[in-house]
C-alpha cells in the first residue's frame, strides 16, 4: 500500500470565503424578510422593490464600510497592544518574564526547562513581544490589505444575495405571486447556500442547509406577521 505523506488539512476558512458567507447570509435573509413583510401590508410591487433596494444599499454600506472600519480598528488595537508590550518588556521585564514562565509552568515543564525557555525567548526583544502578543493575548498580526478587501467582498456579497429575493417582484405583476416566487426562490437559494457553507465549515452540510433556511424563514415570517398586524 503506498503511503501518502501526512498533510494536516485543518479547515480554516479563507478570510474571503468567510466574508462572502457573512455578506450573502444577511443579504439573502434581511431583504427577503423585508419584502415578504411588506407583501403582507402593501399592494404594490414597485413599492416593495423601492424598499428592498433601499435596504440592500443601506445594508451593503453598513456591513461593508462597517467591516472596513472594524478591521482598521483591529489593526490599530493590535498596534497599541504591541506598543504596550514593548514598553512593558523594557520597563518591567521581571513581570513579563514571570508571565512567560507561567505559560510554560502551566504545561508542566520542569523549572530548569522553564528558565531555559524564558531565557531564550527574552534574548530577542522582538520575538519576546511577538510571543506575548500571540500566547498571552491570543492576537495575531493583522493583514493590512484585509480591511479594504473585506469591505468590498462583504458589500458585493450582500448585494448579490439581496437581489435574489427581490427578483420575483421585478418580474411578476402581482404582489401575491411575487411573494410566492420570492419565498420559493430564496428558500431554495438559502438551502444551497447553507449546504455549501456547511461543506466548508462543518461535516454536516444538510443540517447547515436546514439551519440557514430556518433563519431566513423565521425572519420572513416575523416580518410578515408584524407588517400584517400594523399595515
Q: Binding to a second copy (CB under 8 A): which residues in 180-219? A: 201-203, 208, 211, 214-216, 218-219
- Interhelix angle 15-39/205-230, nearest 10 degrees: 30
CA–CA dist 38, 41 (Å, integer): 5
Among 19, 20, 45, 51, binds a second copy (CB under 8 A): 51
CB of 99 to a second copy, least distance (A): 8
Residues 79-138, interacting with a second copy (CB under 8 A): 80-81, 84, 88, 92, 95, 104, 107-110, 113, 116-117, 120-121, 123-124, 127, 131, 134-135, 137-138
Cell matching residue 105: 509552568
Cβ contact 194:10 at 8 Å = no
90 burial class (0-12, 13-18, 19+ CB within 10 angstroms)? Answer: exposed
Number of Cβ atoms within 10 Å of the Cβ of 71:
21
Residue 158 in the binding site for a second copy (CB under 8 A): no
Q: Does 41 bind a second copy (CB under 8 A)?
A: yes
Query: Interface with a second copy by CB under 8 A: which range of 51-59, 142-150, 172-180, 181-189?
Result: 51-59
5: Cα within 13 Å, side-chain hemisphere: 1
Q: Of 34, 179, 190, 209, which one interacts with a second copy (CB under 8 A)?
A: 34
Min dist. Cβ of residue 136 to a second copy (A): 8
Q: Does 24 bind a second copy (CB under 8 A)?
A: no
> Which residues fall within 8 angstroms of residue 2, CB to CB, at 6 or more apart?
none
Q: Which of 23, 26, 147, 186 binds a second copy (CB under 8 A)?
A: 26
Q: Site for a second copy (CB under 8 A): which residue of 8, 14, 145, 173?
A: 8
Q: How far is the CB of 209 from a second copy (least distance, A)?
A: 12
Sign of CA dihedral 182, 41, 54, 44: positive
Amino acid at each position: 500500500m503506498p503511503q501518502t505523506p501526512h498533510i494536516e488539512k485543518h479547515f480554516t476558512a479563507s478570510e474571503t470565503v468567510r466574508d462572502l458567507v457573512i455578506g450573502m447570509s444577511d443579504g439573502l435573509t434581511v431583504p427577503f424578510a423585508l419584502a415578504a413583510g411588506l407583501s403582507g401590508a402593501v399592494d404594490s410591487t414597485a413599492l416593495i422593490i423601492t424598499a428592498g433596494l433601499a435596504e440592500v444599499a443601506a445594508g451593503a454600506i453598513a456591513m461593508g464600510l462597517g467591516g472596513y472600519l472594524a478591521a482598521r480598528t483591529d489593526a490599530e488595537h493590535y498596534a497599541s497592544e504591541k506598543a504596550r508590550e514593548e514598553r512593558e518588556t523594557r520597563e518591567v521585564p521581571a513581570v513579563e518574564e514571570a508571565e512567560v514562565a507561567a505559560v510554560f509552568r502551566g504545561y508542566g515543564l520542569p523549572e530548569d526547562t522553564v528558565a531555559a525557555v524564558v531565557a531564550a525567548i527574552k534574548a530577542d526583544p522582538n520575538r519576546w513581544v511577538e510571543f506575548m502578543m500571540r500566547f498571552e493575548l491570543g492576537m495575531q498580526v493583522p493583514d493590512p490589505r484585509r480591511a479594504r478587501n473585506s469591505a468590498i467582498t462583504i458589500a458585493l456579497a450582500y448585494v448579490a444575495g439581496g437581489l435574489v429575493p427581490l427578483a420575483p417582484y421585478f418580474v411578476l405583476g402581482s404582489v401575491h405571486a411575487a411573494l410566492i416566487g420570492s419565498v420559493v426562490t430564496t428558500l431554495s437559494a438559502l438551502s444551497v447556500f447553507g449546504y455549501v457553507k456547511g461543506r466548508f465549515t462543518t461535516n454536516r452540510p444538510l443540517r447547515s442547509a436546514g439551519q440557514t433556511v430556518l433563519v431566513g424563514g423565521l425572519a420572513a415570517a416575523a416580518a410578515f406577521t408584524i407588517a400584517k398586524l400594523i399595515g
